[in-house]
Amino acid sequence: MKPRRPSLEVIEFLINLAIAVAMFCVVYFLIAQPNEIEGQSMYPTFNTGNYVISEKISRYFDNFHHGEIIVFHYPVDKKYDYVKRIIALPGDVVSLQDGDVYLNGKKIVEGYTSGKTKGGVFLGDGESYSVKEGELFVMGDNRLESSDSRYWGTVKFSDVVGNVIFQYWPLTRLRFLH
């Protein structure tokens, strides 16, 4: 008995499936990925259980800006990804004084924060830090609940996963982020 050959429909389905899987892999590994927000460190911007999309292209060009929200590998344990806001770029001097954040000697007006900013182990109140080349100083918006650069230091460019560009859950907070 002669073995049956797969029908054209089956072959076409398998080809389309392979193309779809390849496209998904390209998008997920090179262009964008979903991320779940865990914890309250970015409140009020994000809450636990919110979902966002981070784009990965700008990280290849080290194209970072003050105030951007990024996803990065936690410097203390790289198996975890954190979401924080960029406060200072290479060459910037960041300092904390009486609950306020200063960038290059000027107080930052931050309408997105929750509470005053206290010092940490890496950068305490009344101290300054000059950000080195290839590094970013990041903080959570909920300064009283955030473990960030004040405690464990800067984030290397190579640890950045991407920039958060879109929030898609909950639907009531569906929005693009700048």
* Domain boundaries along the sequence of the chain: 34-176
Mean pLDDT by 10 residues, the chain (178 residues): 76 89 82 93 95 91 92 94 98 96 95 86 96 98 94 97 95 89
DSSP lists the bridge partners of residue 29 as none
**Total-model pTM:** 0.87
**Residues with Cβ < 8 Å from 3, sequence gap 6 or more?**
none
pLDDT score, position 1: 64
In the residue annotation, 2 being an active-site residue is answered as no
pLDDT score, position 26: 80
Sheet holding 100-103, edge to edge: 106-107, 100-103, 93-97, 128-130
Largest pairwise CA distance in the chain: 86
Query: With left for phi above 0 and alpha for psi between -120 and 50, is residue 115 left, alpha or beta?
Result: left
Catalytic option among 2, 78, 79, 84:
84
CATH fold of 34-176: Umud Fragment, subunit A (2.10.109)
Contact 156/46 with Cβ under 8 angstroms? no
Query: With left for phi above 0 and alpha for psi between -120 and 50, is residue 12 left, alpha or beta?
Result: alpha
pLDDT score, position 8: 84
In the residue annotation, 84 being an active-site residue is answered as yes
